[in-house]
Structure 1
């Protein structure tokens, strides 16, 4: 069997969850329908899953279900963006962004008491790259512009942020989650971020703090 996939039997044994839990989480949209892949085997039809995705998702569900309801978890895992406005003071109180990232964000979007969730996602992505030491503040301006200009068309769809440098010049691109992107040898890929993962992390930070 392809090592990138895991059978339902192996998944249940490895994670310790029951058949009933697995399909309840499917009904609640915690696990996407298209992750349940039916394939022919020598014993007949069996269900397989993308190994890394399903193991990571079940680990998150198990560790977060005591703090969040299944409906809240489903909302967190949904690729659709929350429509809430986030108070600017929450960004510091809930450790969403550092002051340098917030100052960069305010320079771009202006001062306000509250911001759309979508803009807070952009600030969180900038924070991730700044905190990792992969991006400087000047490059952050370009990042926010690319996200503002192009991310809305990916709403509800998987996509990846690609950050590259060539001869000291930086550039950012957004690509469909299924796209294969190739560069010439003089281009250094600084970072590739799964935006859906950033979205999940941000929702988790907000919901866990609000719930606690």
Structure 2
């Protein structure tokens, strides 16, 4: 296997967790089934994992399991949206999104006392790109339209947001995480965001 993957033996040695913990977390859906990859080696069959993903996930589990139950962690890591209704002022008070993002959000969705969690996921993604200094407020309007129109089509499946510019014109696309996209040389890929990671981050922030 290449350097992007790590064997189960190496994983257990590096993290200090036990075989039992690893498979308990798998049963509790803290670690996705498709991260357990069986491959043939010169010693027989071995299990490998995508190194960056599994190391980050185990680090989060270890540091959060004293504050959250395994069921709460599983919900946080799940790509499924919650059914919660949230108020804009809650997210501003917790420094999750800025007032500028909320103003943009309410212009798009209209004024209401509370909004579905899914809509605030969109606001959180806009906030991420604004804070990075990679997107203008005007471009944020276009991003909200793309997310509202197309993100529900993924129905909880992992996807990636691709933000590009060509000759000063911006565009956004949503694609499955496995997609390989190629552009001509005049296209600048401004940012690629894993939407599932953004969802996980938002759920984490709302827990505290």
TM range (shorter): over 0.9
* Secondary structure of 2:161 counterpart: strand
Match runs of 1:1-212 below 5 Å = 1-207=1-207, 209=208
CA-based RMSD: 0.9
CA contact (8 A) 1:61 1:73 kept: yes
Once the two structures are TM-superposed, the CA of residue 93 in structure 1 deviates from its matched residue by: 1.6
CA contact (8 A) 2:80 2:156 kept: yes
**Aligned residues between the structures:** 208
d(CA) in 2 for partners of 1:57, 1:205:
16
* Secondary structure of 1:175 counterpart: strand
d(CA) in 1 for partners of 2:173, 2:68:
34
Structure 1 residues 77-114: Cα deviation after superposition (integer angstroms, max 9, x where no partner): 11111111112221112111001111110110111111
CA contact (8 A) 1:81 1:155 kept: no
CA contact (8 A) 1:79 1:155 kept: no
Give the TM-score normalised by the residue count of structure 1: 0.95
Moved over 6 A (4+): none
* Mean CA deviation greater in 175-184 or 195-204: 175-184
| Structure 2 unpaired stretches of 5+ | none
Once the two structures are TM-superposed, the CA of residue 76 in structure 1 deviates from its matched residue by: 0.8
Give the TM-score normalised by the residue count of structure 2: 0.97
Structure 1 residues 126-149: Cα deviation after superposition (integer angstroms, max 9, x where no partner): 000111110011101000000000
